[in-house]
């Protein structure tokens, strides 16, 4: 999943970006509210981690503008403001969760995963289709009940597809989930990851809709493939 981090403290920003990156998130970091608004306008991020004390545009202003425009993406406020009135103001402005500095990076990652689950309408932590099951909290992949070793990028691609089973994702959409601004993207990276996953999870698990993109089936794989003209 791709997250936007809006934090003006260099030490905290670098620590959060590194910690969430280690936890499998692709993280883009901006240091002021105006840059956050410009990044959000691209529409590629799944969630926002937002400091309230940003220059140029405060966190509350960024959050208010998001909600006013109808942007419902999860927002986790990350701030040193620990007064009850501040927490109430952040939540009333549209924040989905509120974490006070100092904080534990593992808890921050867990709260983000919980927000993303709720945002996608899932109650449980596991994602599954057919014989494949993944756990975003532990980064484990199981095929027919057996653990399968995958790379971080392969896991990110699996997570993107399993979060939206039955939905065709284009190359650009998958690259947006796998790579942040500073990550180099090779022209055939998505195909390489899909080829590797097919060898590990079955040739028919990730299906190609020629000229459009890739998907995993929702419900009956055969019925889904036939209904959209899918090719392996």
Do both 79 and 174 map to the same domain?
no
Do 86 and 79 touch, CB atoms closer than 8 A?
yes
pLDDT at 123: 53
Q: For residue 203, give both structure tokens.
A: 């040739």
Do 22 and 134 touch, CB atoms closer than 8 A?
no
Do both 17 and 114 map to the same domain?
yes
Residue at a domain's end among 66, 87, 119: 119
Do both 199 and 150 map to the same domain?
yes
- DSSP E strands, 22-118: 26-30, 47-50, 75-79, 97-100
Do both 207 and 140 map to the same domain?
yes
Q: Which domain holds residue 166?
A: 127-228
| φ/ψ of residue 129, rounded to 5 | -155, 125
Cα 161 to Cα 127: distance, rounded to the nearest angstrom: 10
Residue at a domain's end among 65, 88, 119: 119
Do both 108 and 56 map to the same domain?
yes
What is the number of structural domains in the chain?
A: 2
Write the pLDDT tens digit of every residue in 170-220.
988 888 888 777 777 777 889 999 999 999 999 889 998 888 999 998 753
Distances (CA, A) of 189 to 30, 153, 168, 179: 26, 10, 18, 11
Do both 88 and 193 map to the same domain?
no
Q: Please state whether the peptide bond connecting residue 180 to the residue before it is cis, i.e. omega within 30 degrees of 0.
A: no
pLDDT at 122: 61
Do both 66 and 132 map to the same domain?
no
């Amino acid at each position: 999943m791709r997250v936007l981090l809006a934090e003006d403290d260099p030490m905290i920003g670098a620590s959060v970006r590194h910690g969430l990156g280690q936890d499998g998130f692709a993280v883009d970091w901006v240091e002021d509210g105006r840059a956050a608004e410009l990044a959000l306008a691209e529409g590629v991020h799944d969630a926002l981690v937002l400091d309230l004390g940003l220059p140029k545009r405060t966190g509350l202003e960024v959050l208010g503008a998001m909600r006013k425009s109808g942007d419902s993406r999860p927002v986790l406020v990350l701030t040193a403001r620990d007064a009850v009135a501040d927490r109430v103001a952040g939540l009333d402005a549209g924040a989905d969760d509120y974490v006070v500095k100092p904080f534990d990076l593992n808890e921050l990652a867990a709260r983000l995963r919980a927000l993303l689950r709720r945002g996608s309408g899932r109650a449980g932590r596991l994602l599954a289709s057919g014989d494949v099951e993944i756990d975003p909290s532990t980064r484990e992949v199981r095929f027919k009940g057996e653990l399968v070793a995958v790379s971080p990028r392969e896991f990110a691609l699996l997570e993107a597809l399993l979060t939206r089973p039955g939905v065709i994702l284009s190359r650009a959409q998958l690259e947006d989930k796998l790579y942040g601004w500073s990550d180099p993207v090779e022209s055939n990276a998505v195909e390489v990851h899909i080829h590797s996953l097919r060898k590990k999870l079955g040739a028919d698990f990730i299906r190609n809709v020629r000229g459009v993109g890739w998907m995993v089936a929702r419900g009956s794989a055969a019925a889904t493939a036939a209904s959209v003209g899918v090719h392996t």
